[in-house]
Structure 1
Amino acid sequence: MTFAEITADPATGALPSAHRRARETVEQARLADEAGLDLFAVGEHHRTDFVGSAPAVVLAAAAEATTDIRLTSAVTVLSSDDPVRVWEQFATLDQLSGGRAEIIAGRGSYTESFPLFGYDLADYADLFREKLDLLLRIRAQNPITWNGRLRPALDAADVGPRAMQEELPIWVGVGGSPASAISTGRLGLPMAMALLLGPITSHRQTVDLYREAAQDAGHDAAKLRTSINLHGYVGRTSQGARDTMYPYFAEGMMANNHQRGRGFRMPRAAFQAQTSPDAGLVVGSPQEVVEKLLAYHELYGLDRALIQIGFGGMPQDDVLKAIELLGTEVAPVVRREVGSRKEPAA
């Protein structure tokens, strides 16, 4: 997973070009596919310190460089976009990729897109609720007739192309709001949580509320899917991974924060604390990362984890090394261990 941020190197001060970061993102997807990973994600941000203002375009380029890996936004800021265009873009991506597209729809923790596209932040929650309803309706039927308060109505509208998959997956991104977890559960949609910093147990209530709401709404609990988006890095050694990740992650927290120009300083001791077994960051040797991912699975019953590698402008060589380790030494062990735990006792 990547935000494709453009961050000055903390050691040299050099700033990569947008062209370079865009091409590096496609290269990361290609290697992730070759290494056997399941999913590649691109975030959406509408500032000049990010390349990913149009995730579907970046993912379409990645589709041409890959063959098997699934491709998703993380997230599509649905509240400030038009569901018709979102559907058209990702259905096109689905056709180009041979049925590998997904959407993680979110409200957006970075809010610069709202004034950019003429939306009022006072309508933050209502915009997402209404637009998610329309996106799901478009997925379910065509042509579509639909009426809402914050977008013009549709009358027998023909929305195309249709997806190649029988049902293009639409996940809902949830940062931890109880109301978001409950509404996602009521809809029976898969939930993609995000954990930036904090204890590994931060989303216990989120998952409980989601599952309770889904059950109350009559959804089959066995079909509910959950994932978590995390920051991390895989290195050959535990300390080496931390030494590689820290300066860039700290720079990203300062330079690419939600509120531009209002980043926060992360001392090394604070970073180290966040890499402990009980904290959120997934950093260390392959074995250490395996153990942390299995701990997340044990806590939440996750179906998948998305790891954002290289946040803060980490050099491409270091990012690629981590992707390869994640695909060849971490993912196979996690899949095997999770599979064995699901098998019924003899």
Structure 2
Amino acid sequence: MLSLIARAPHPLVRHLPFPAERFEEVIGTGVVAERPGFDAYATGERHAGPFLSSSPSVVLGALAAPTSAIRLPTGVTVVAILDPVRMAEDFATLDPISGGRIERVVGKGAEAGHFSLLGLDEERRWDRRKEKHELPRRLWADESVEREGEFRPALKNTTPCRAPATGPSRPARSGDRPRLPGPAARHGDPLFTANAVQPRAACARLIDHYRERFEAYGHDLRSVTVDGLGPSRPEQDGTPLRFAEESAPVVRREAPTSLRGRRPCPTAGRPVRPSGTM
């Protein structure tokens, strides 16, 4: 499950929830998701628009307290716009608090405007991402870090952060640009895509490039599998119905919201028609 913590007026009653209401709903949903056995509950990172997810590490810390088993990934950490030392410290702190359930999913971010918001040149986003992806790993692993980079002051005999127990971070990507698979393959990290609009040919190019670089860095190609190819059409059609019948009653009971019951929905009581996609 993934939440970008959107905050916008309800389409029917036009109620705009207070930020505290939305955070309460997000955390409550994470608690509910753990009970039936969901694997993970991620929070995204957005820095503009109608979203409250500009500090996902803070939200994940709040989610870690009332949960005990569900994994808590970022979705995603936009490393190109963050200070890598501060990011390494945040995750080194979150890791013991969560019992090793935090996962840093790395990506460039698809939101327009966050580079200009933070005074950064978007044209250098890939160079920034590459440099800032490597430094947290060294801060978590090396006894002493000395490093000079282009995008932040040099580090001299820096004491590293305590290494997270969760193992490698998980680089993410969207689209078909073959830039993120390289760092992922170098460290033997899994590759994750949350892009639902790219054609199959783009995904095939992405996978082929990742496998090529994975093997070139000396990893065993036999350990690479492609998972999550997507459900069949009948499974897609049945997903909304199963959610309405099985999940929605639990969510309504365990994570109530003030929006329900304000005004009857115009389509209430009509048969639910399965949709073609989810």
Describe the shift of the 1:120–1:173 C-alpha distance in structure 2 as closer, same or farther (beyond 3 A).
Answer: same
> Identity rate of aligned residues, in percent?
31
State the Cα deviation string for residues 299-333 of structure 1 (Å, max 9, x = none). xxxxxxxxxx9xxxxxx967937x99xxxxxxxxx
The answer (yes or no) to whether the contact 2:173–2:180 under 8 Å persists in 1 is: yes
State the Cα deviation string for residues 66-96 of structure 1 (Å, max 9, x = none). 0101111110110000111111111211111
Describe the shift of the 1:205–1:49 C-alpha distance in structure 2 as closer, same or farther (beyond 3 A).
Answer: same
- For residue 52 of structure 1, what is the amino acid of its counterpart? S
The answer (yes or no) to whether the contact 1:195–1:229 under 8 Å persists in 2 is: no
User: Structure 1 or 2: larger helix share?
Assistant: 1
Which residue of structure 1 aligns with residue 63 of structure 2?
62
Say which is worse superposed, 184-193 or 197-206, in terms of deviation.
197-206
- For residue 171 of structure 1, what is the amino acid of its counterpart? R
C-alpha displacement at 1:207, in angstroms? 1.3
Which residue of structure 1 aligns with residue 167 of structure 2?
168
SS of residue matched to 1:128: helix
- For residue 207 of structure 2, what is the amino acid of its counterpart? V
C-alpha displacement at 1:135, in angstroms? 1.9
- For residue 172 of structure 2, what is the amino acid of its counterpart? G
Aligned: 1:277 with 2:276:
no
Which residue of structure 1 aligns with residue 267 of structure 2?
none
After superposition, residues 1-346 of structure 1 pair within 5 angstroms as 1-47=2-48, 49-163=50-164, 165=165, 167-176=166-175, 177-199=177-199, 202-224=202-224, 277=233, 283-286=236-239, 320=251
User: Structure 1 or 2: larger strand share?
Assistant: 1
State the Cα deviation string for residues 76-133 of structure 1 (Å, max 9, x = none). 1100001111111112111111111110011111143322322111211100011011
Aligned partners of 1:172 and 1:25: how far apart in 2?
24
Describe the shift of the 1:227–1:72 C-alpha distance in structure 2 as closer, same or farther (beyond 3 A).
Answer: farther
Aligned partners of 1:27 and 1:229: how far apart in 2?
30
Describe the shift of the 1:317–1:4 C-alpha distance in structure 2 as closer, same or farther (beyond 3 A).
Answer: farther
- For residue 37 of structure 1, what is the amino acid of its counterpart? F
SS of residue matched to 1:156: strand
**Structure 2 unpaired stretches of 5+:** 256-278
Between the two proteins, the alignment pairs up a number of residues equal to 249
Aligned partners of 2:191 and 2:113: how far apart in 1?
24
Describe the shift of the 1:112–1:60 C-alpha distance in structure 2 as closer, same or farther (beyond 3 A).
Answer: same
**Structure 1 unpaired stretches of 5+:** 231-274, 290-308, 310-315, 325-346
The answer (yes or no) to whether the contact 1:9–1:15 under 8 Å persists in 2 is: yes
State the Cα deviation string for residues 21-71 of structure 1 (Å, max 9, x = none). 111111111111111111110000012511111111101111011010111
Aligned partners of 1:21 and 1:107: how far apart in 2?
26
TM-score (norm 1): 0.64
TM-score (norm 2): 0.78
Describe the shift of the 1:186–1:98 C-alpha distance in structure 2 as closer, same or farther (beyond 3 A).
Answer: closer
The answer (yes or no) to whether the contact 2:141–2:160 under 8 Å persists in 1 is: no
**Bigger Rg, which one:** 2
Describe the shift of the 1:44–1:98 C-alpha distance in structure 2 as closer, same or farther (beyond 3 A).
Answer: same
Aligned partners of 1:219 and 1:78: how far apart in 2?
25
